[in-house]
Amino acid sequence: MIDIQNLTKKVQPNQTILDNISFRVKKGELVIVKGVSGSGKTTLLSILATLDKPTSGKVLINNQAVHKLPDLHLSLFRAQHIGFVAQHFNLIEHLSVYDNLLIAKGALTNSIKEAKSDITKALKQANILHKKDAIVKNLSGGEKQRTAIARALVNCADILLFDEPTAALDSKNSQTFLELLQNLHKMQKTIIVATHDPIFDTLKAKTFIMQDGKLYE
């Protein structure tokens, strides 16, 4: 499903963020990318999410060379296939949980009936349906995260990317997230988590270590 070949990202001629990375992720796999802050994890996820482009190398997702796609096509590809949950969630704080999902869903459908059905399904999957009318700024950290996960699920994305998902959570909410992650894995979602939290050591997952822009299995 994901095939990364000789991926390099430079921000200056003498500053390399990602250094000749190659790896593959099969459909339905759960992958953990571990590394300290500044090791390149977030940059890697941003490229996988098609939010950034590599300096060189190939990014193949579902056999499509996404590193070659123009921005307009990338936006549609991202909406159809990739759910990205950023570390700080990137929700619209003054809108309700439901409306945050409606904006994401509106990019792919003009059917109100379809939108309502898919939003309700995603809210149930993320265990946040009971807060659908709440304003996001009034939610707890765990509730905001579940809202962001529901938004990632609303277009039935088959790839889910999580950037430091437990960084802003207490131990109880971190454990709740692990349970939700395992449920998503059972749904055959392809999942990549970038983290430095040792709580993920308890999961049965393919694990990579990122250090100084290099990736080691």
pLDDT tens digits for range 29-43: 999 999 998 899 999
In the sheet where 82-85 sits, what is the strand order? 82-85, 159-163, 190-195, 30-34, 206-211, 214-216
- Span 43-58, mean pLDDT? 94
Question: Is 70 exceeded by the pLDDT of residue 188?
Answer: yes
What single string gives the DSSP state of each residue in the chain? -EEEEEEEEEEETTEEEEEEEEEEE-TT-EEEEE--TTSSHHHHHHHHTTSS--SEEEEEETTEEGGGS-HHHHHHHHHHHEEEE-TT----TTSBHHHHHHHHHHTT---HHHHHHHHHHHHHHTT-GGGTTSBGGGS-HHHHHHHHHHHHHTTT-SEEEEESTTTT--HHHHHHHHHHHHHHHHTT-EEEEEE--GGGGGS--EEEEEETTEEE-
Name the residue among 213, 210, 215 with its Cα closest to residue 10: 213
Q: Considering the entire predicted model, what is its pTM?
A: 0.92
Domains in the chain and their CATH numbers? 2-216 (3.40.50.300)
CB of 1 within 8 A of CB of 27? yes
Provide the pLDDT confidence category of residue 12 given band limits of 50, 70 and 90: confident
pLDDT tens digits for range 62-120: 999 999 888 888 888 988 899 999 988 999 999 999 999 999 887 667 788 888 999 99
Bridge partner residues of 9 (DSSP): 18
How many Cβ atoms are within 10 Å of 211's Cβ, its own excluded? Answer: 12
Name the residue among 158, 144, 190, 193 with its Cα closest to residue 77: 158
